[in-house]
Amino acid sequence: MATQFAYYPGCIAEFSSKELDATTKALAPMLDIELLPMPAATCCGAGDIAEAKPNLYLTLNVRILSQAEEMGVDILTICNVCTLNLRRANKMVKEDARLLEQVNEELVKVGARPYEGTKEVTHLLWYLATEEGLSLLEKQGPRGLNGLRVAPYYGCQLLRPSSVMGFEDPDRPQSLERLITALGGEVADYEAKSKCCGFPIVLAREAVALRESHVALSQSRDAGADCMVTPCPLCHLAMDAYQRKAEALNGTEYNMPVLHLPQLIGLALGLDRKVMDFKRHMVPVDRVLETVGV
Amino acid sequence: MATTTLDIFRYQPDVSDASYRQSFELEHPSDLTLLDAILKLQDEQDGTLAIRYSCRSAICGSCACKANGKTVLACMTQVEDVKREFETETVQVDPIGNFAPLKDLIVDLDPFWDKFKSVKPYLVPDGPAPERERLVSKEDMQKLFRESACILCAACYSECNSLAADPDFVGPAALAWGYRFAGDVRDGQRKQRAKLYTGEHGVWDCTRCMYCNERCPKGVNPRDAIEKLGGIAFQEGRSMKDAGARHAKAFLLSMRTGGKLNETVLVPFTDPIKAHLDIPFAIQMMRHGKAPSPIPHRIKKLKEVQQLMKNVKETI
């Protein structure tokens, strides 16, 4: 029987990065996962609502957790930011009964279900980067990445703060490397894989953000990567959509294709290329497809 | 006894402008701290090796440095723990990041102190002083508990990704101190502080890399303080005064109208002028199907969310 999750793709995967949502949904049955929709779930607030109205931020995220609890399943995300915000809210109310009570009072007042604090939030990467997860990939008999040299790009919020995230050492993460290797790729290692892509401030402070993304883009290029892979759609936007702007600002060329994590898995497992919709990428992925042989 | 190779960053400007690395072999007890290891090297092998330190008890914050790339307080870090954590026999020691080195592990802290001073790190109460001291309830003081623990060691500053890209960013430590006073019920400058902290290089320049929370040796969680300062700025009427604030406001508007992020609103609302000047980029995004639908998404049970937005009171 497939493992069921309340599927929380986050706003970006449903809108400007639809290819991520579509690929995840197509991949799920191959990985023995059933993704249950959450039609009444809001945006997690992405750190912005927390910066404007901290109590509202907490209440909105607990409301999402409560919906998963009503469905009787844990939440699966495909976005670093959603993972952090949902996990943070979960930790806050699980560790403080009085706070949970206060939040639940607000939820009940508007007719929402109170949260009992029984659910967990995980990311697709975490689910797959365990022994059990890797065996799900093995079952598919991956045809592999044909030695594609992949630079893992974690971004920030799937790793830190470790007191909230806690899946792996934020200074020496290895989950993406495990997946890349298991899928028949080669790891192009570089120091900035866990630095910030700058996306949270790209609209308000574009030049600063582009100087941040430059660090990871230039290092992955220098490490001889054929492409980068990221578990976060916001990092993807920063590295892919804004890559030409970063090149112009920093006076250098990266020409670095950036894949969403499910796309890398999809390539290795032979998922229909059309589903993965690489046309939506701003930086062409042709050389990646050529190397993998699709 | 244990044996460790310490690979240390050296910079002796009175001898040469070039920095270099020097390896030292050290035999030491298994519970030796990194600071004591460096002082032992200084004492026994190279008297020119320089590090700033004072209390040796994780209170003064002056011995912050990098051990295998991670910013730590040298006095509260044991050499054997670093080796265990990084599974290595060598400990690489560097000065803290985002600072110019002055000599070996000693850096120029002037920019850090200037930024600290710029946030007015002291109470400015309103009105005449009372006969007795200004009392604070335990509950009110609890709100500042974490930020009050900051020892200004600059570990957060050392790792801040925004600072690496913009040296003028005020940085996490100063902003944590900012909240420590903006959130204090005895202070009479809340509105002025909200203005002071939310301009260019302030609250909205934080890129949320979370390194500050991760690295703080005292559990101050500067990023959380920055978040709270944003909340205070909103309460004090600064929600439209900066592109960063408008970006957050756009999330609230999206939440109210559809429950999910409305990207059509987000870009022009955050920076209307830039959005109009950046038409070529917008066209490229559209070509790749990344232009959002002008019809906002609408989640089920939206009324619950709208009512929560009216009901939930902020208590920062």
Nearest to B308 among A12, A52, A56 (CB): A56
Region of poorest pLDDT, from A8-12, A66-70, A206-210, B296-300: B296-300
| A238 DSSP assignment | I
Instruction: Give me the residue label for tokens 């790793």.
Output: A159
- Angstrom distance (rounded) from CA B309 to CA A45: 13
- Give the pLDDT confidence score for residue A140 in this predicted structure: 87
pLDDT value, residue A275 = 97
Q: Which two tokens stand for residue A140?
A: 């598919």
The DSSP bridge partners found for residue B66 are B71, B94
Q: Region A147-165: what's the mean pLDDT?
A: 97
Q: Among A8, A82, A169, A203, pick the best mutation site for testing chain B contact (most B Cβ within 10 A).
A: A203
**Residue in A closest to B295 by C-alpha:** A15
Average pLDDT over residues A213-235: 98
Which pLDDT belongs to residue B207? 97
Contact A67, A113 (CB under 8 A): yes
Cβ proximity of B238 and B167 under 8 Å: no
Distance CA A122, CA A250 (A): 36
Distance from CA of B109 to the nearest CA of A (A): 22
Q: What is the DSSP string of A251-293?
A: T------EEEHHHHHHHHHT--HHHH-GGG-SS--HHHHHHHT
- State the Cα torsion A164-A166-A167-A172 to the nearest 10°: 120
Torsion of CA B192, B193, B199, B205, to 10 degrees: -160
Instruction: Name residue, tokens 């009503």.
Output: A70
Q: Which residues in B lie closer than 8 A to residue A88 (C-beta atoms)?
A: none
- Percent of chain A residues past pLDDT 70, beyond the cut: 100
% of chain A beyond a pLDDT of 90: 97
Cα B252–B258–B260 angle (5° rounding)?
65
Print pLDDT tens along chain B (316 aa): 999 999 999 999 999 999 999 999 999 999 999 999 999 999 999 999 999 999 999 999 999 999 999 999 999 999 999 999 999 999 999 999 999 999 999 999 999 999 999 999 999 999 898 998 899 999 999 999 999 999 999 999 999 999 999 999 999 999 999 999 999 999 999 999 999 999 999 999 999 999 999 999 999 999 999 999 999 999 999 999 999 999 999 999 999 999 999 988 898 999 998 888 889 999 999 999 988 777 878 999 999 999 999 999 999 9
Query: Are A204 and B211 in contact (CB < 8 Å)?
Result: no
pTM for the structure as a whole: 0.97
Radius of gyration over alpha carbons of chain B, in Å? 24
CA–CA separation, B99 and B76 (whole Å): 22
Residue A70 token pair = 């009503």
User: Do B40 and B26 contact (CB within 8 A), yes or no?
Assistant: yes
**B168 token code pair:** 């003028």
* Amino acid present at B232: I
Residue A255: how many CB atoms within 10 A of its CB? 12
Q: Which positions in chain A touch B244 (Cβ < 8 Å)?
A: 201, 204-205
Determine the pLDDT at residue A130.
97
* DSSP letters for B57-91: SSSS-TTEEEETTEEEEGGG-BHHHHHHHHT-SEE
* Inter-residue contact B225 to B170 (CB < 8 Å): no
Q: A45 at the B interface (CB within 8 A)? A: yes
Q: Which residue of B has its CA nearest to A241?
A: B285
- Our CA-based measurement puts residue B70 at a distance from the nearest CA of chain A, in whole angstroms, of 8
- Strand-strand pairing, B2-10 and B20-28: antiparallel
**What is the predicted pLDDT for the residue at A141?**
80
Check: CB of residue A11 under 8 Å from CB of residue A227. no
d(CA B282, CA B117) in angstroms, rounded, equals 41
Contact state of B271 with A109 under an 8 Å Cβ cutoff: no
ipTM confidence score: 0.96
Spatial separation of the C-alpha atoms in residues B117 and A239, rounded to whole Å: 36
Label residues A93-129 b or e (16+ Cβ within 10 Å = b).
bbeeeeebebbbebbeebebebbebebebbbbbbbbb
pLDDT at B265: 87
pLDDT of residue A129 exceeding 80:
yes
Which of B251, B281, B300 has its CB closest to that of A46?
B251
Q: How crowded is residue B139: how many other Cβ atoms within 10 Å of its Cβ? A: 8
Are residues A150 and A264 in contact, defined by beta-carbon separation less than 8 angstroms? yes
- CB of A145 within 8 A of CB of A268? yes
User: Is some CB atom of chain B closer than 8 A to the CB atom of A59?
Assistant: yes
Tell me how long chain B is: 316
Q: What is the pLDDT of residue A10?
A: 97
